[in-house]
Amino acid sequence: MTDYKTIDDFNPSGRRVLLRIDLNVPMKDGQVTDATRIERVAPTIEELAVKGAKVVLLSHFGRPGGRRDTTMSLAPLARPLSEVLGGRPVNFAKDCVGPTADHVISRLDDGGVALLENVRFHAGEETNDPAFARALAGLVDVYVDDAFAASHRPHASIEAVARLLPAYAGRLMQAELEALTRALDAPKRPVVAIVGGAKVSTKIELLGNLVSKVDRLIIGGGMANTFLFSRGLDVGASLAERDLADTANSIERRAIETGCKILIQDDAVVAPALAPSVETRVVTADSVPGDQMILDAGPRSIDRFRATLSDCRTVVWNGPLGAFETPPFDAATVAVATYVAELTRTGHVLSVAGGGDTVAALVQAGVIDTFSYVSTAGGAFLEWLEGKTLPGVAVLQR
């Protein structure tokens, strides 16, 4: 990855800094139910404020479709932001452009913080409208992007405005880029990627890119069933995209060409239905009963995966190895996650994970704080792994 500018590259004192963050947090009855994203961006806000910047926070929330929708207002987030910032006041502006925003910003002292209204209340945000970008840029002196989770979107507050102002990466963006660069662009080898999830169709580009980047690729979850089927095995009543057998075969051929070894479970935990109290049994991958579903990797496969990971130096993880939401079908995911966490704890590997289901699985396994880096970026994390150029990252390059 090309070098990019960070907040170390400018003096924020006395300057109006537009800080693009991601406050698209879960809410219920007007209350934040998970403040992780707020907590992760707090260090950048605090650092800029302590250094004397007038910090102007900008974010999207939900999908209002370019119209004002009070149910998607950012107003309820001013107090949680203030609390995470140790009581630092957060002034709220009822719009993100125009006289209302300008008035709130003009009243900020050095070190003050303002939160602008949902940027997606304006249609120009998602169309990357140059005029809307100029309206945003006219409010401030400098642009800082700390919203890697939105960096794959070619939106005005992500891409266009960054071309109109001196643009820099915030600390969260910087940490994400450094972790991903170390994991895939300049990794210590061998590199093992773990990719799970329900469907191959959602991760074709990801798998195609990874087989040219990593040394070993562990495929789990429902998508492993498609690969088993493509190898000529009967997967019974399991979820499998049988029409993508040729695609799976082409990925395997590509892996052979690049020297990437693909590992898929050779035994499985099966059951007649996905339910917590259902009767289960372990079978070999070539003897799945016609009325049974593969819902997790079996114990022999777990041992193989651990052996593969034992001498690696870098692990990249996206997606669970089984139907982890329903115990006991979380066994493989928890066992492998615990092993990767131990390798990380002892300094043996760099471990980078991301994706909504992956984060939930690592929380369930109790190891999320042990991994080297866990991304909450979702789509942006996936597109990075697919090898795509992210608009919000490209504009920060030197």
Mark whether 379 is an active-site residue: yes
Q: Is the alpha carbon torsion for 243, 249, 252, 253 positive or negative?
A: negative
Write down the catalytic residue from 52, 138, 379, 387. Answer: 379
Through-space distance between the first and last CA atoms of the chain, rounded to whole angstroms: 11
Mark whether 37 is an active-site residue: yes
Write down the catalytic residue from 16, 199, 300, 306. Answer: 199
Write down the catalytic residue from 37, 88, 120, 171. Answer: 37
Q: DSSP string covering 44-82, please?
A: HHHHHHHTT-EEEEE---S--TTS--GGG-SGGGHHHHH
Q: DSSP string covering 142-181, please?
A: EEEE--GGGTTS--IIIIIGGGTS-EEE-HHHHHHHHHHI
Contact 390, 383 (CB under 8 A): yes
The H or E element spanning position 377 is none
Mark whether 203 is an active-site residue: no
Percentages helix, strand, coil for the chain, rounded to the nearest 5? 40, 20, 40
Q: Any residues with CB less than 8 A from the CB of 256 and at least 6 apart, and which?
A: none
At 100, list the tokens: 């209302």
Contact 59, 74 (CB under 8 A): yes
Write down the catalytic residue from 52, 62, 138, 356. Answer: 356
Distances (CA, A) of 374 to 53, 201, 342, 361, 366: 29, 24, 15, 12, 13
Instruction: Compute how many other C-beta atoms are within 10 angstroms of the C-beta atom of residue 205.
Output: 14
**Letter for the amino acid at 181?**
T
Contact 279, 297 (CB under 8 A): no
- Rounded Cα distance, 249 and 271, in Å: 27
Mark whether 40 is an active-site residue: no
- Rounded Cα distance, 392 and 145, in Å: 8
Tell me which residues are annotated as active site. 37, 199, 356, 379
